[in-house]
Amino acid sequence: MNDADAVDLLEELVRTRSPSGAERAAAELLVRRMDALGFEARVDEVGNAVGSVGDPGAPELVLLGHVDTVPGEVPVRREGGRLSGRGTVDAKGPLVAFVAAASRAARAGRLAARVTVIGCVEEEVASSRGAHHAARRPAPAACI
């Protein structure tokens, strides 16, 4: 995934409304794109987007973020090399950065871990359903 593809994915993800409790379309988009990049990707039982790449026998690094946003509308704009819109920084941007970095490392043969990217649901509300579900996974070697 090159920089232009990463920015295109980010814009598509930001354009996909995903307020807490209504994240399914964003999770499915992220899963489709991870799958196309060679990840083993799926939407889990609670709606999280989960994708893994690298050696299944290697230590696991989890890169965890969230796909939901707070309610409200912020127009999506691309101007002067900048993208703005609801969720661009918190936290769709970091999720796309995670996917891009893991994809690049895997394709370059420089991945000495099993990298799992998780885009949790309901992080912006008190339930944090996606994070609580992800916390029940076997402990990875590290989580960011």
User: In angstroms, rounded to a whole number, what is the distance separating the alpha carbons of residues 55 and 106?
Assistant: 9
**Shortest CA distance to 18 belongs to which of 80, 77, 90?**
90
Given the residues 23, 68, 122, 124, select the one marked as catalytic: 68
Whether 123 is catalytic: yes
In 37-111, which ranges are continuous DSSP H helix? 93-107
Burial 103-121 (b: 16+ CB within 10 A, else e): bebbeeeebebbbbbbbbb
Given the residues 60, 122, 123, 124, select the one marked as catalytic: 123
**Shortest CA distance to 28 belongs to which of 104, 105, 84, 36?**
36
Whether 68 is catalytic: yes
User: In angstroms, rounded to a whole number, what is the distance separating the alpha carbons of residues 60 and 140?
Assistant: 5
Tell how far CA 3 is from the center of its chain: 16
Residues classed as catalytic: 68, 123
